[in-house]
A and B are shown apart, each in its own frame.
Chain A
């Protein structure tokens, strides 16, 4: 009974005699049949409530301090996880930027078939060569390029030539 109720009741203290008389009327107890009816109705109502529904709609009351602590811990963990990753070296992008792609033509060993007839046609000086005359004009011979002693250049100097600059050729 709260304070307001006590104040309400004091106003009726003078009428104590009536209050006592009113208390003579006692209500009956709740009949057992009513309890049974309500229990039966509840059983009918909740029989079809599946476990899944109860699990999906279940609530877990969490005290505010616990929820706050959990939130703070989660935030701190996330913050640390993000900031603990090592930053990439700062020079790497510069090094990558320094790489220049250039197209370089390197003479590759090739196999050349020379026809003596063609050679004499293109080289008039060979027409006088007796060795060339000994060769059967019907047969072709193959010149093999020997790569023995070939070494790649030690230092490569790249010169970029503008397309229209004929003087540099």
Chain B
């Protein structure tokens, strides 16, 4: 995130601390997409993603002093808060990830029914494969692949070091490559994975 964005976040936070509701809504508008997507992919439930996202922003609104700009950016702080709330939900669910079927209209593909069907199927398979990962590996993949976070940012969000994040990411991709082998270049991915294991 560019420093200008970070500075603007800090200004909004200053205003929020003074009781400016408009500043809070602007913070929400700036970060809601990323937080919601992240939580949704982590939990696999639209309803729970809504709850967690709302709780995440309301906790910031209620006690903005908890955020320390010397430790992390606001973006990292929000992702970290959302992650903790999502993991709490995850524990409440007994470790299961209840991935929902996508409702019609969610898919952005409009280039023909066959393509849409294929995209839907691929999307569902990827979703299923990521749901099969452990929570920490899933978190690393989502933040790295979908949210464009750096390893250092992911480490800050997860409260660990960069080496651990790299390791989680590597193992997650190995697993995904294996699970999604039939969709990788006509199944060629499986043979490549086997050759990787032989190394």
Please determine whether A57 and B19 come into contact, CB atoms closer than 8 angstroms: yes
**A17 and B37 in contact, given A2-B150, A45-B62, A54-B18 (Cβ under 8 angstroms):** no
Contact of A22 among B62, B106, B149, B176 (CB under 8 A): B176
Q: Is the CB of A18 within 8 A of B19?
A: no
Whether the pair B151, A4 counts as a contact (CB closer than 8 A) is yes
B residues near A54, Cβ cutoff 8 Å: 18-20
A24-B21 in contact given A18-B180, A19-B145 (Cβ < 8 Å):
no
A-side interface residues toward B, CB under 8 Å? 1-2, 4-5, 8, 12, 15, 17-19, 21-31, 33-35, 37-39, 41-43, 45-46, 49, 53-54, 57-59, 61
Q: Which residues of B contact A (CB under 8 A)?
A: 11, 14, 17-21, 24-25, 28, 32-33, 36-37, 40-41, 46, 50, 53-54, 57-58, 61-62, 102, 106-108, 119, 122-123, 126-127, 130, 141, 144-146, 148-152, 173, 176-177, 180, 183-185, 189
Q: What residues of chain B lie closer than 8 Å to A26, measured between beta carbons?
A: 106-108, 123
CB < 8 Å A-B pair total = 117
Chain B residues, CB < 8 A from A41:
54, 58, 61
What is the chain B residue whose CB lies nearest that of A35? B32
**Listed residue (B18, B19, B130) with the most chain A CB atoms within 10 angstroms of its CB:** B19
6 contacts between A and B (CB under 8 A): A15-B173, A21-B126, A22-B146, A38-B32, A41-B54, A57-B18
Q: Report whether over half of chain B's contact residues are helix, strand or loop; otherwise say mixed.
A: helix
For B61, the chain A residues whose CB sits under 8 A away are 41-42, 45
Partner of B46, one of A31, A39, A57: A31
- Shortest CB–CB separation between residue A90 and chain B, in angstroms? 56
Task: Determine the distance from Cα of A161 to Cα of B141 in the docked complex, in whole angstroms.
Answer: 113
Q: Is the CB of A34 within 8 A of B25?
A: no
Bound-state CA distance A24–B149 (Å) is 19
B126 CB contact (under 8 Å) in A1, A17, A24, A45: A24
Task: Report the minimum CB–CB distance from A46 to chain B (whole Å).
Answer: 3
CA distance A144 to B127 in the complex (A): 134
